[in-house]
Chains A and B, each alone.
Chain A
Amino acid sequence: MKELSVNQDHAKLHKVIALLKQKDLDGLIIYSGGTCSILRPSYLHYFSEFKPMGPRNAAVISKSGNIGLLVEPKWDEVRASRKSWIRDVRGTSDFLDDLLKLIRQLGITGSIGVVGSKEMTHNVYTTIEKQAELVLADDIVEEIAREKTPRELEIVRATSGIADIGFNAFLEKARVGIREYELAAEMEFAMRCAGADDIFILLSSGKHNFEMHEPRDRRLEKGDVLIGEITPVLEGQFIQLCRTVVLGEPTPLLRQKYEILVRALEETLLEVKAGVSAAVIAKAMNRVISEAGYAEYCYPPHMRARGHGFGAGSIAPGGAIDEDTRANLERDQVVVIHPNQYLPEVGYLACGETYLITDTGVEGLSETETRLYVKEG
């Protein structure tokens, strides 16, 4: 094991120490199981600025400000040392043993806060529990992630640019004869070349879609309605575009129905700003769609969430915004608002994009317009 490092002068560390003292905790473990989810914050990635790869990784912080980062696999220590601001980085091939050693070396003897406990397996949780009283503490990172730094906002905008590139590839490469998985491959290629760390694509094609799903073998046909959820991620920040493209001239009925969704989005945006309940998103959207005669299709099993938050350290106001969401919207939250809707006459349609919440309303992050797109051929 390495010698203990000196305290690092980092804003996130200072904030964590203040919160540990406030909550009377002796230390904190920020844990990651090595996955990155669209509907869950990546706490360790956000805090350490290192995206973990192995199945068990943790930053351990004492209330006096000593800190160590433990990563699997052992050889990933080289990358972690380069990427993270944490200076004491230790690759491990015996995670549990080394975690306990690190806790002891940092002089943590009292209650330990745990962030990311839902990613901990039985072995990990019970091993630490034997050593100390554990207190669930996701709110510590959620709290420090509330305020976005200029750098984070820069990443938000860069990711939005990548999503636009993904949509342009969707539109450009969609053609009769291409298979769904080939089209998804072209979109992924375009977004990766534009700098995305990873991509989340749901895509569906057909004359009448029931859902968005992962790409299949189906070849696109003339008259198909293509729906896509295009979501690149950069440094833990996701941005989403929900778009519908028709291969060939759409029917007047389809145009008319899509307009309902565009109107639902426009009317919803009029009500969104910092300080109001996030539930207004679902309520406003459902009102417009219900008035058009589709009230029963606004709720499960047809539809549920009308949007969700995105962020590396926090996905506030939540992973699913519906009429029961209690959280209020706050300035600089990144929220996808999507009146995606199943309509019995035309099937499932995708419509929506990601916004930055401001004090007076929203800032649209996408450069591409929300409308029904038509691709000839």
Chain B
Amino acid sequence: MEAMQPTLRNGRNVWDQINMPAHEFHERVRKVREKMQEKQMDVLLAYGNAFNDYANPCYFSNYVIRLPRGALVAIHKEGEVVLFFEGASRGLSSAKKTSCVEDVRPCPDVSRGYTQYLKEKGLTPSTVGCVGLKQLMPHYQRKLLTDALEGCTLINADPMIREMRMIKSIRECDQIRRSSRIVKGIINFLPDISFPDMNERAVEASIIREARFEGAEDVRVLFGRPQEPKWALRPSEETFIERGVAVIVYLAVAYERYWSEGIRTFNTMENSFSFPDLKKTETLYGELTKRIKPGKAISQCYEETVGEIQKSGRDYIAEYGLGEGIGLSLNEWPILDKKATGNLEEGMCLTLRMCISDKNMGAVMIGNTFFTSKTGLEALTI
């Protein structure tokens, strides 16, 4: 789900090779080269930028973008993988420490960086697989790159990488479990705390501090006040939180590149939060999770879960979406939608959000991160 992006990824930046060893990346490169061969690609260019869309280059390198800039991984059919990142050469040491790629090149612009690389190596690819170039790369950079690749056949390789990223490896699932542990811990920590200043900014600051101490790389927080006449989730404001009101808290945490998300609805006391009695809502949410199983069409999962909510007589608030894949990005495939194609598969990690109207609280929202096992959804944030 969308949330305010930071100006810098301020949190802990390490590459823990026990959690995510180099061979995991080498294996991804090996697999993608097999796919490239099938499609007769000479090179695959995986582009990403800023804080929401670093996944494509990160998937092959572990390099995470920490500023609103771009990065590009070039995988030629043989030879070294090359990582280009936009920034000064002083960032090289940090990039090398946190990435599995040996050939790392800082540059003011990744399009120019790659073009120079081709000249330097005397390479003239004829078929280029493009990942993220159309949707994410700034227009002027893409033009520069496509002009430089004039005469080459450009192939949209987004579906190929999307398919690879949708099914998580055991190590990827473990990383999502780690970020989920932080989300779960903070959700449970909120009612235990007394806030001297019951202000959205102060509450957010405490949540972020707690997450950072657990090693969070990035933290996103949104608040919702569903009893207000016109409400929506939003970033924190310099606003006092009164006693006896409903507050929805959205929390997403990235740990060593991988995201997890959780949403809860709280009641407020004098200087603290409490969990309201939401047994019926929680039971309904539990029923939804049973409808989502591997082997089922994703569109069917959507229809059945939304149908289940409607059957309960509660109004479904569809604006925030039912959920989607989660991993190196907060918004991945598959998207739980009636138009979705394909089946749910074992190994996918998903978010599932339920936002429904409530006569006392205005609206109630619950959201969690799940692992799709052989038998169904395993909750990681409950």
Contact = CB atoms under 8 A, between A and B. Distances in A.
> Is B one of A's binding partners?
yes
Contact of A121 (B3, B6, B11, B134): B134
Given A186-B209, A216-B14, A118 B231 contact: no
A195 interface: yes
Interface stretch (B73-81, B87-95, B270-278, B342-350): B87-95
A238 B67 CA distance: 15
Interface string A175-218: 00001111011101100110100111110000000110111110
Given A121-B136, A215-B13, A300 B89 contact: yes
Interface in A268-299: none
A35 interface: yes
Contacts of A123: 134-135
Interface in A149-196: 179-182, 184-186, 188-189, 192-193, 195
B215 to A, nearest CB: 7
Nearest to B202: A193
Contacts of B12: 179-181, 215-217
Contact of A76 (B2, B7, B90, B231): B2
Given A199-B10, A201-B8, A189 B139 contact: no
A338 interface: no
Interface string A25-37: 0000000011111
A37 B7 contact: yes
Interface in B115-159: 133-140, 142-143
A212 B322 CA distance: 41
B204 A192 contact: yes
A33 B7 CA distance: 13
B38 interface: no
Given A79-B234, A193-B202, A185 B209 contact: yes
Interface string A235-253: 0001000000000000000
B232 A184 contact: no
- Secondary structure of the A contact surface, majority rule: mixed
Given A75-B233, A181-B212, A38 B2 contact: no
Contacts of B138: 118-121
A31 B139 CA distance: 13
B238 A53 contact: no
Interface residues of A, number: 58
Contacts of B320: 75
Nearest to A189: B209
For B9, B51, B209, the residue with the greatest tally of chain A CB atoms inside 10 Å of its CB is B209
B208 A188 contact: yes
A210 to B, nearest CB: 7
Interface string A58-90: 000000000000001111111100000000000
Contacts of A219: none
B209 A54 contact: no
A122 interface: yes
Interface string B5-26: 1111111111000000000000
Contacts of A375: none
B5 A34 contact: yes
A181 to B, nearest CB: 4
A109 interface: no
Contacts of A78: 230-232, 234
Contact of A182 (B10, B139, B212): B212
Contact of A184 (B10, B67, B139, B202): B10
A74 B14 CA distance: 35
A211 B94 contact: yes
A202 B94 CA distance: 12
Contacts, number: 153
B51 A35 contact: yes
Given A193-B205, A195-B238, A211-B94, A36 B68 contact: yes
Contacts of B2: 53-55, 72-73, 76
A373 interface: no
B237 to A, nearest CB: 9
Nearest to A229: B8
A188 B10 contact: yes
B200 to A, nearest CB: 11
Contacts of B212: 181-182, 184-185, 188
A33 to B, nearest CB: 8
B163 interface: no
Interface string A20-58: 000000000000011111101000000000010111000
Contacts of A124: 139
A72 B143 CA distance: 25
Nearest to A39: B67
Contact of B232 (A34, A79, A214, A216): A79
Contact of B8 (A77, A180, A211, A214): A214
A304 B108 CA distance: 14
A217 B7 CA distance: 21
Interface in A291-318: 300-301, 304
Contacts of B289: none
A258 to B, nearest CB: 20
B139 A181 contact: no
B50 interface: yes
Nearest to B146: A122
Contacts of B8: 38, 199-202, 214
A117 interface: yes
A233 interface: yes
A180 B66 CA distance: 17
A121 B68 CA distance: 14
Given A51-B4, A198-B6, A215 B209 contact: no
B137 A75 contact: no
A252 B197 CA distance: 45
B185 interface: no
In the complex, the 10 A-B pairs of residues with the closest C-beta atoms, listed nearest first: A185-B212, A125-B139, A192-B205, A181-B12, A35-B68, A78-B232, A189-B209, A200-B8, A214-B13, A75-B232
Interface of B: 1-14, 50-52, 66-68, 88-91, 93-94, 133-140, 142-143, 197, 201-202, 204-206, 208-209, 212-213, 215, 230-235, 238, 319-320
7 contacts: A33-B50, A76-B2, A118-B138, A181-B11, A213-B93, A214-B10, A216-B14
Interface of A: 33-38, 40, 51, 53-55, 72-79, 117-126, 179-182, 184-186, 188-189, 192-193, 195, 198-202, 210-211, 213-217, 233, 238, 300-301, 304
Given A182-B213, A200-B7, 15 more contacts: A35-B5, A37-B67, A37-B68, A79-B234, A117-B139, A121-B136, A122-B135, A123-B134, A126-B139, A181-B215, A188-B212, A193-B202, A198-B7, A214-B94, A304-B88
